[in-house]
Chain A
Amino acid sequence: DAGVTQSPTHLIKTRGQQVTLRCSPKSGHDTVSWYQQALGQGPQFIFQYYEEEERQRGNFPDRFSGHQFPNYSSELNVNALLLGDSALYLCASSPGHAVSYEQYFGPGTRLTVT
């Protein structure tokens, strides 16, 4: 049983560009959450998708957007990249949208903005 997968593993972009990160949830999971983790910090909640809709959102600007597909996979899009967007982006899936479910994390995508 494949766990949560993310692509790409690493990415280097230039300021002002746009980036799309992808996530496939663990089999049987219908909820996907995205987190941003800066170096030396804990993960920061970006948003959560359930039933193809954004259900919860953290304190991130509209430059961060997402999408969930009918097969529950998800994309995170970041427009007009800033140097401060450099971070590890983590996708987590769960078998429901309630916060009482444990999150299964993917290995992350390391984004570097130059």
Chain B
Amino acid sequence: SQQGEEDPQALSIQEGENATMNCSYKTSINNLQWYRQNSGRGLVHLILIRSNEREKHSGRLRVTLDTSKKSSSLLITASRAADTASYFCAVPQGGSEKLVFGKGTKLTVNP
């Protein structure tokens, strides 16, 4: 089944550094979404990027989408300790309204 797969599984950086997470998927999509989850709590929506968009920004977040490579990346610039969380990409399962999540990237930002 189609699934977003994040890479790396875990990332540890220092405050102020940039963090980049990648997501790959298997079939054509009309949009891709990124979510953040703090310590086993509910997920928070970060950005939705549509298939006809190549790049999108929201504050310190930058998301790119390459439909030819079936991949997306999430860049967090000037990271803060509060960015410590798990980050998930989610894609629609082909031909349905189901959102399929990957296993996530666990980001640790050290002060």
List residues of chain A with CB under 8 Å of any chain B CB: 4, 33, 35, 40-45, 48, 55-56, 58, 88, 90, 92, 97-100, 102-108, 110
Chain B residues whose C-beta falls within 8 Å of the C-beta of A43 in the assembled complex: 43, 88, 101
Q: How many CB-defined contacts (below 8 Å) exist between A and B?
A: 64
B100 and A45 contacting across the interface, CB-CB below 8 Å: yes
Q: Does B108 reach chain A (CB closer than 8 Å)?
A: no
B97 and A102 contacting across the interface, CB-CB below 8 Å: no
3 tightest A-B CB contacts, nearest first: A42-B101, A105-B42, A99-B92
10 A-B residue pairs with CB within 8 Å: A35-B101, A41-B103, A42-B102, A43-B43, A44-B101, A45-B98, A56-B96, A56-B98, A90-B42, A99-B99
Chain B interface residue count, CB cutoff 8 Å, equals 24
- Least CB distance from A14 to B in Å reads 23
B97 and A88 contacting across the interface, CB-CB below 8 Å: no
Q: Does B56 reach chain A (CB closer than 8 Å)?
A: no
B43 and A99 contacting across the interface, CB-CB below 8 Å: no
Smallest CB gap from A90: residue in B: B42
Chain B residues whose C-beta falls within 8 Å of the C-beta of A33 in the assembled complex: 99
Q: Does B31 reach chain A (CB closer than 8 Å)?
A: yes
Report if A90-B97 is in contact (Cβ < 8 Å); known contacts: A100-B48, A102-B48.
no
- Least CB distance from A55 to B in Å reads 7
Chain B residues whose C-beta falls within 8 Å of the C-beta of A88 in the assembled complex: 40
Distance of A40 Cα from B99 Cα, bound (Å):
18
The one of A40, A45, A99, A104 in contact with B45, judged by C-beta atoms closer than 8 angstroms, is: A104
Smallest CB gap from A106: residue in B: B42
Distance of A55 Cα from B96 Cα, bound (Å):
10
- Least CB distance from A26 to B in Å reads 12
* Mask of B26-67 contacts with A, CB within 8 angstroms, 1/0: 000011010100001111110010100000000000000000
